[in-house]
Amino acid sequence: MGIYLDNAATSYPKPQKVIESMTNFMMDIGATYGRGAYETAIQSDMLIYQVRKGITDLFHFNDVKKVIFTLNATESLNVALKGILNKGDHVITSSIEHNAVWRCLKTLERDIGITISVVPCSKEGFTNPFEVENAICEDTALVVFNHASNVLGTLQPIKEIGEICRKYKIPFLVDAAQTAGVYPIDVIDNNINLLAFTGHKGLLGPMGTGGLVINWKGDIKPIKSGGTGGDSTYEYQPDYYPNRLESGTLNVPGIVGLGEGIKYIQKVGVNKIYHKEKELLEYAFNQLHEIEGITVYGPQDSEKIIGVISFNLKDKSCDEVAYKLGRQFGIMIRAGLHCAPTAHEIIGTKTTGTCRIGIGYFNEKKDIDFLIEALQKINK
């Protein structure tokens, strides 16, 4: 397989039990969720419940009914943004968002006339919470921030921003695509009203899984309608969770695999995962600075970021570097804008992109050593 350093895109490898659980489900159970009273259908229902419960435990939440399953964090964010915002609403966001947030907001701006305030961040990706408070107005209906940048790894002060939102009774939506499973998250303590997550990154589950944790009493309009397995004579979408936001057949094999990923994380411990990745970050920063002509972007402080490093080599395009790393050395990294052009605008790389390393729990220092050796050769 080579050396995998693209964990910010999707984690690899997956724990063996993730793979086994999905195979076992498809071979031995195979029933849909919420649709039958026979034995394997009840088993399917129980498995889904157990994963919802695992998610509430991981994020220190207490209502399994308000864990909504989606296909990924992008869908979760769309469910929240399109379900909450109405014509004339004002929303506050950061200047370093992924397109999962930014494109959705711009589409709502064009189609229904919401207004958007973008809070500026530093070149290292940090947002001052007071800037968020200063942007609040009478029509502010939502604040949405990523927990950590997928370009710079920068952690945002979500607890402080959440406190401001609570003070003004404004719902706070957090995009945890890069942090769920690799950094401690407490929905209650961090004042998070809506937490969007994906299953295939830090949670070590398969692609096609994600969710939205709802710690809010306000209404979220469904963006799709259909069968939920219950109340079938009622002609409209149910008004209770999770059915209100879950229509159609769930990806039960994928969710079962996600559940095993979460069990693995809980067994190892989020703090242990975070500290290992932090050690690898420190090691990588020290090694990268030995390369002549390299530019490393972002804080370069393992206390302030998660396992993402963006860099460029002088006089070489990021595409060329990534291609040579993969082709000649079997090292897998990402190159480009990483679906976050506003972040690249902040660091001055919107026209060039960056090389991005995504460090994961299964990486070791020897992977960094081999990467550095390869970069030295490419740089000659």
> CATH number, domain at 133?
3.40.640.10
Strand partners, 118: 93
Same domain for 194 and 326, yes or no, is no
Is the alpha carbon torsion for 237, 142, 347, 107 positive or negative?
positive
Q: Is the pLDDT of residue 368 over 90?
A: yes
Q: Would you say 280 and 307 are in contact if contact means Cβ atoms under 8 Å apart?
A: yes
The confidence band for 1, taking pLDDT boundaries of 50, 70 and 90, is: confident
Residue that has been written with the tokens 């976050």 in this structure: 340
Q: Is the pLDDT of residue 104 over 80?
A: yes
Same domain for 285 and 364, yes or no, is yes
Q: Is the pLDDT of residue 229 over 90?
A: no
How far does Cα 254 stand from its chain's mean position?
17
Range of lowest pLDDT (6-10, 211-215, 232-236) = 232-236
pLDDT cut 70: percent of the chain above it: 100
Q: Using alpha carbons, list the distances in angstroms from residue 82 to 98, 101, 115, 117, 224.
A: 16, 11, 14, 17, 11
What average pLDDT score do residues 168-189 get?
98
Same domain for 172 and 240, yes or no, is yes
What pLDDT is recorded for position 36?
A: 87
The confidence band for 30, taking pLDDT boundaries of 50, 70 and 90, is: very high
Domain stops at, among 243, 268, 293:
268
Same domain for 264 and 275, yes or no, is no
Average pLDDT across the chain, whole number: 96
Q: Is the pLDDT of residue 34 over 90?
A: no
Q: How many CB atoms lie within 10 A of CB 79?
A: 25
Domain stops at, among 240, 268, 296:
268
Q: Is the pLDDT of residue 252 over 80?
A: yes
Same domain for 311 and 238, yes or no, is no
For residue 119, the surrounding DSSP H or E stretch is: strand 115-119
CA atoms within 13 A on the CB side of 298: 32
Same domain for 236 and 342, yes or no, is no
Structure token pair of residue 109: 């701006």
Give how many domains the chain has, as a whole number: 2
Same domain for 170 and 149, yes or no, is yes
Q: What share of the chain is helix, strand, coil (3-state, %, to 5)?
A: 40, 15, 45
Q: Is the pLDDT of residue 186 over 90?
A: yes
Q: Using alpha carbons, list the distances in angstroms from residue 356 to 6, 25, 287, 338, 342.
A: 8, 36, 15, 8, 16
- The beta strand positions in 147-262, using DSSP E, are 172-175, 194-198, 210-214
What average pLDDT score do residues 333-341 get?
97
pLDDT digits (tens, 9 = 90+) for 269-280: 999 999 999 999
Q: What's the DSSP call for residue 156?
A: P
Q: Which domain CATH number covers 319? A: 3.90.1150.10
What average pLDDT score do residues 290-301 get?
95
Same domain for 279 and 263, yes or no, is no
Same domain for 21 and 90, yes or no, is yes
Query: Residues of 117-152 as b/e, b for ≥16 C-beta within 10 angstroms?
Result: bbbebeebbbbebebbbebbeeebbbbbbbbbbbbb
pLDDT digits (tens, 9 = 90+) for 195-226: 999 999 999 999 999 999 999 999 999 999 99
Domain stops at, among 210, 235, 268:
268
Q: How many CB atoms lie within 10 A of CB 269?
A: 11
The confidence band for 6, taking pLDDT boundaries of 50, 70 and 90, is: very high
Cis status, amide bond into 242, omega within 30 of 0: yes
What average pLDDT score do residues 26-34 get?
93
Q: What is the DSSP string of 28-91?
A: II-PPSSS--SHHHHHHHHHHHHHHHHHHHHTT---GGGEEEESSHHHHHHHHHHHH--TT-EE
What average pLDDT score do residues 47-70 get?
98
Q: Would you say 162 and 144 are in contact if contact means Cβ atoms under 8 Å apart?
A: no
Q: What is the DSSP string of 215-239?
A: ---S----SS----SS-TTSSS--S
Distance of alpha carbon 41 from alpha carbon 253, whole angstroms: 13
Q: Would you say 304 and 282 are in contact if contact means Cβ atoms under 8 Å apart?
A: no
What pLDDT is recorded for position 143?
A: 98
What pLDDT is recorded for position 190?
A: 96
Q: Is the pLDDT of residue 81 over 80?
A: yes
What pLDDT is recorded for position 313?
A: 97
Q: What's the DSSP call for residue 22?
A: H
Same domain for 320 and 369, yes or no, is yes
Largest Cα–Cα separation, the chain: 70
For residue 4, the surrounding DSSP H or E stretch is: strand 3-4
Domain ranges, residue 333: 3-12+270-378
Same domain for 292 and 312, yes or no, is yes
Same domain for 225 and 373, yes or no, is no
pLDDT digits (tens, 9 = 90+) for 105-156: 999 999 999 999 999 999 999 999 999 999 999 999 999 999 999 999 999 9
Q: Using alpha carbons, list the distances in angstroms from residue 99 to 96, 173, 194, 259, 340.
A: 10, 15, 18, 27, 6
